[in-house]
Structure 1
Amino acid sequence: MSSQFGLLTSRRFAPFFGTQFLGAFNDNLFKNALVVLLTFQAANWTLLTPEVLTNLAAGIFILPFFLFSATAGQLADKYDKARLARLVKLLEIVIMGVALLGFSMHSLAVLLTALFLLGLHSTLFGPVKYAILPQHLHENELVGGNALVEAGTFVAILIGTLAGGLLAGAAGHPTWVAYAGLVVAVLGYLTSRGIPVAPAPAPELVVSLNPFSETWRNIGFARQNRTVFLSILGISWFWLYGALFLTQFPAYAKNVLGGAETSVTLLLAVFTIGIGLGSLLCERLSAGHVEVGLVPFGSIGLTIFGLDLVFASPALLPAGAPLSLGSLLAVHETWRVLFDLFALGLFGGFFIVPLYALIQIRSAPEQRARIIAANNILNALFMVCGSLAAAGLLSDGLSIPALFGVAAVCNAAVAIYIYSLVPEFMLRFIAWLLIHSVYRLQQKGVENIPPEGAAVLICNHVSFVDPLVIAAASPRPIRFVMDYRIYRMPVISFVFRHMHAIPIAPAREDAKMMEAAFEEVARALEAGELVAIFPEGKITDTGGLYPFRPGVQRIVGRTPAPVIPMALQGLWGSFFSRKDGPAMTKPLRRGIFSPIALTVGSAVAPAAATPEHLQAIVAGLRGDWR
């Protein structure tokens, strides 16, 4: 995990990370301090009830996301993001001045105005926060960078929430809350001055201030790429799901667990630590590139542990409630609840980090900030809808644990729906699971696979899972050309069909299918896709290389593209190979966690891609390890 933590010492990342961390900390410090004051000292400020005030405060803070996200996205695409970050931090200093005025005047209206402006501050910074990362980080650093940002954000939320509550309860006068916020805002501005220049991708953009038309336009940009839009919906669902749990923590701690005020902090801390750890683990589990296979893994955990939380919750309020923190931890059921919350956070990190990185990579650079703005709008909309739905279900008599169960079942339904629309997520999960459970994959030279544009990948053919291993190592989707008999095999045909594999047959068996396959390969290359072919034409049953066929020459002769030679090692003799007879007849023949490798060579020019030359390269890459 040293690579992602190394970013914290880099000027490309560290000043930005500090700026966003302090901003999230300050948001929650002021917001929670104000909520605590209005909850416990409502009579000193207004005639409204604490319940109305806290919901009013939440609504005021989130309102700017609906009104100004579209404008914020345009500004982040039109202007230098580093400069925008500094201007937003100056605005934060002014906002804390307004808050200081509100506390000094003992004016609820002024304080709520400051809260609205703080929501505006977060709205303006949101597109900068995620759109700046691809400009300052390399592609293999994006997962680690996003992981640090997500972990840092949740830690900042936790610490800010705790600090706000302590200041509201312990300070002799509430103006200390504003003074603390002012200090944090100044520190944030000073930190932002170290953010490197991030040039505007669309300086010619004319900014429209109409929030309705621009919101619809931004959502339209996001919808241009189906995977990006569904990733945004996935992120928005996560925020709905997570916010639903977080919102219920106070009532759950008091009315279900029987804990005192400190128990709420415990639940929040455990959940936050889980998200932070899950986010940081993403970089290691994804081997540095954007691994969308972790998204289904995350959604499975979110469902399983959401359901288990229902059964882990005590049916009856413990005797002696409210219990102190020590007494609560002495209750056996509490530890299972804490484990479920930790696991929910952990798998939430697996779910959300790859989605953010995927949006950044696959969004058009000149529209990226506006797409992030669309994401923020939908996040806010989903959270509001989730809150309203939860309030309605609870008012109808549903218990909080049952509400968690309903949310977990809905999470499973949403996941199945999204993965049915974008099979890439589930297919990458299958490939990721294969190389992390059955095998241990070593990758060499994967950076030789071009990050964009057309290319033909060639590889020796050792087993039935070769396409899955190659797909798991590749940072981009690949279309495999494969024997039609393998393509049609039961069970795995589902996988290959949704990988958009191209079935091919020898001319003597089905000349029409062969010609159709070459036509489809040409279309794929013209569209800038990666196409992979196994030039031997069949899976080896000797462990050696069969002579390469001339199909690659024909492909690049019609549609010139670089040829990337690759070699698989270690799969000969595995369950999926044909050593000593038919494949898949001797389970665990090599045990589990068997080491395998994929070695990728340098690109070969189309003119030099003769069968003999390519075979010599692949043989050299493979070496003696079969």
Structure 2
Amino acid sequence: MSHPSQFSLLGKRRFLPFFLTQSLGAFNDNVFKQSLILAILYKLSISGDRTLWVNLCALLFILPFFLFSALAGQFGEKFDKDALIRVIKIGEIVIMAVGATGFVFDHLWMMLAALFAMGTHSALFGPVKYSIMPQALREEELVGGNGLVEMGTFLAILAGTISAGVMMSQAHYAPVVSTAIVGVAVLGYLASRAIPPAAADTPQLKLDWNIFSQSWATLKMGLRQAPAVSRSVVGNSWFWFVGAIYLTQIPAYAKDWLNGDETVVTLILTVFSVGIALGSVLCEKLSGRKVEIGLVPFGSFGLTLFGLLLWWHSGDFAQGPANNDWLTVLGIGQAWWVLLDILGLGVFGGFYIVPLYALIQSRTAENERARVIAANNILNALFMVVSAIVSILLLSFAKLSIPQLFLVVSVMNIAVNAYIFKIVPEFTMRFMIWLLSHSMYRVEHRDLERIPDEGAALLVCNHVSFVDALLITGAVRRPIRFVMYYKIFQLPVLNFIFRTAGAIPIAGRGEDLLIYDQAFKRIAACLADGELVCIFPEGKLTGDGEISEFKSGVTTILAQTPVPVIPLALQGLWGSFFSRDPAKGFFRRLWSRVTLAAGQPVPAEDAKPSRLRARVSELRGEGR
């Protein structure tokens, strides 16, 4: 079944105004911040160390995330989100008017005050930005929507940075910058007026104005979520730790290691931002329009790999003329390898960050979502500050070079994500499933929307190979409890996946009565809790590719817990490496096309084994 591209969201009112609002905000942030930094470095009459003022700018922009994210999380749950966004955007117009006045009169402290206020604006906007999306988007649109937002954010950051450079190069820069920042703020407010209503999640919430106690309480709330959510918050913040190190070092890296001028800095920023945007929008296709956290280990692997390659490929630029422009640098063969490494960092960064945001949004309770995102923002800010401290210690005191810093960060990335994946094995399990369904097989889905988005149901499917459960898990959005023969459940490597997924081992009544009885008790409990349970009613793998008689286990299950039954059929697995085809081989039918089809739900009272077998046979068709 074909699905509209994620870009079709840009044509829908429930997404486009919000997308424009947040993109214009990110653009304006960076126009103002970068213009101020360039003014300090090149335009204003300032006594003392100018780099100190630049570092003060970084501090003033990040400090509000510590101070006001907890309050922003409360706002995001207590008030209607569309109205709250419009109030924040009105505030942006006022802030930019103050900043514009500072530029016109060369008043540094006024500009610094506006920068702090813009940081506050961004801190207030963050929780409502990510908590409004689950209200506006359907579940299958969440990954695509997050991908578009991340793409828009990083391209807006790049465009704002470049635009600031162009405007500040003008002889009369002040009126140009002032007009631009106020004009963009007005456009952001106008875009926000078209955002559809988004009701408050917890309108009765009592605000706690003590920013320090509430920040600590909010942070604890975020870290006390279910392990998958809390570790996603940590993983998200770790990404900003890594990203902050790379982005902070790019100017010095371009100058000292690529022997380039300011245009080379812009080139690297462009390649990195395009990589992030590309990785973000590819997430929807690679994830099959669902929240696929299996992409997170894949993204982590790429961040480490391309970080190591960047260190490796940086060694040949130590000698040579300085201040080369970007065209001259592109004339050096080694530069292409460096740019490819930076592009890879961006692409795999997108694979890493988009599923984490989508998981946090989808698995957090509505009445806590904004505050959990606020906790994430607090932790992001903390990690970014720590990244600056680590960089100073390693570069200034340990006397590492910038490429060696990249090497250290790449090794640290292995350790941090190994910890996350160990604590939450679901990441690793989903990665192995994703890898299987995107390497040995090309899995097509047909009518899987017939599987309910919530509530209990029993799935019945033909049993063709040892990896049937993995392929079904990779295709269906909801978690599934599989009932499988206990000897398959115990297979090495696959056992880790089955245990992590909560599979239920079963034995024949004559083999092990205890396992048999425990299996039916667990099945009944799972269905009573509203979960999906999948069984293979043939009771064994097919030995000839045909569908055997369905056993009476399905009748026993439905007698205890009557729920709708969804017939499923796998086609194309017979003859593959994991089937029992005598003529199989590892390379036979490699990258073969496999179809998983779902039929119409069958009421429990009509779900006789023979009738279900006929339904599954009809779904599968003639192919095996």
Please tell me the TM-score bracket, short chain as reference. over 0.9
Partner of 2:5: helix, strand, or coil? helix
- Kept in 2, the 8 Å contact 1:314–1:333? The answer is no
Closer/same/farther in 2, CA of residues 149 and 501 from structure 1, 3 Å limit: same
Q: CA deviation at 1:610?
A: 2.4
Percent of aligned positions with the same letter in both sequences?
A: 53
Q: Which residue identity lines up with residue 161 of structure 2 in the other structure?
A: T
Structure-2 residue corresponding to 1:255: 256
Closer/same/farther in 2, CA of residues 211 and 563 from structure 1, 3 Å limit: farther
| TM norm structure 2 | 0.97
Structure-1 residue corresponding to 2:167: 167
Is 1:439 the equivalent of 2:441? Answer: yes
Partner of 2:368: helix, strand, or coil? helix
CA distance in 2, matches of 1:254, 1:173: 25
Partner of 2:563: helix, strand, or coil? coil
- Equivalent pairs counted in the alignment come to 620
Structure-1 residue corresponding to 2:515: 513
Structure-2 residue corresponding to 1:74: 74
CA distance in 1, matches of 2:538, 2:351: 38
Superposed counterparts of 1:484-563, under 5 Å: 484-563=486-565
Which range is displaced more, 368-377 or 165-174? 165-174
Partner of 1:597: helix, strand, or coil? strand
Structure-2 residue corresponding to 1:586: 585
- Kept in 2, the 8 Å contact 1:147–1:353? The answer is yes
Select 1:598's aligned residue among 593, 596, 599: 596
- Kept in 1, the 8 Å contact 2:233–2:360? The answer is yes
Q: CA deviation at 1:2?
A: 5.3
Partner of 1:8: helix, strand, or coil? helix
Structure-1 residue corresponding to 2:349: 348
Which range is displaced more, 78-87 or 105-114? 105-114
Q: CA deviation at 1:171?
A: 4.4
Q: Which residue identity lines up with residue 371 of structure 1 in the other structure?
A: V
Superposed counterparts of 1:34-433, under 5 Å: 34-41=36-43, 44=45, 46-222=46-222, 223-396=224-397, 397-433=399-435
CA distance in 1, matches of 2:5, 2:317: 48
- Kept in 1, the 8 Å contact 2:104–2:178? The answer is no
- Kept in 1, the 8 Å contact 2:442–2:593? The answer is yes
- Kept in 2, the 8 Å contact 1:257–1:318? The answer is no
- Kept in 1, the 8 Å contact 2:151–2:276? The answer is yes
Closer/same/farther in 2, CA of residues 374 and 556 from structure 1, 3 Å limit: farther
- Kept in 2, the 8 Å contact 1:24–1:157? The answer is yes
- Kept in 2, the 8 Å contact 1:259–1:325? The answer is yes
Q: Which residue identity lines up with residue 269 of structure 1 in the other structure?
A: T
Q: Output one character per residue of 1:460-495: Cα deviation in whole Å (capped at 9) or x when no partner.
A: 100001011101101122221111111112232222
Partner of 2:367: helix, strand, or coil? helix
CA distance in 2, matches of 1:361, 1:323: 48
Closer/same/farther in 2, CA of residues 559 and 48 from structure 1, 3 Å limit: farther
- Kept in 1, the 8 Å contact 2:167–2:173? The answer is no
CA distance in 1, matches of 2:535, 2:110: 66
Which range is displaced more, 415-424 or 394-403? 415-424
CA distance in 2, matches of 1:557, 1:79: 47
Q: CA deviation at 1:507?
A: 1.1
Q: Output one character per residue of 1:117-144: Cα deviation in whole Å (capped at 9) or x when no partner.
A: 0001111111111111111111111111
CA distance in 2, matches of 1:248, 1:171: 29
CA distance in 1, matches of 2:605, 2:374: 46
Structure-2 residue corresponding to 1:16: 18
- Kept in 1, the 8 Å contact 2:242–2:409? The answer is yes
- Kept in 1, the 8 Å contact 2:568–2:619? The answer is yes
CA distance in 1, matches of 2:409, 2:466: 39
Select 2:615's aligned residue among 603, 614, 617: 617
CA distance in 2, matches of 1:614, 1:269: 56
Gaps of 5+ in 1: none
| TM norm structure 1 | 0.96
Q: CA deviation at 1:349?
A: 0.8
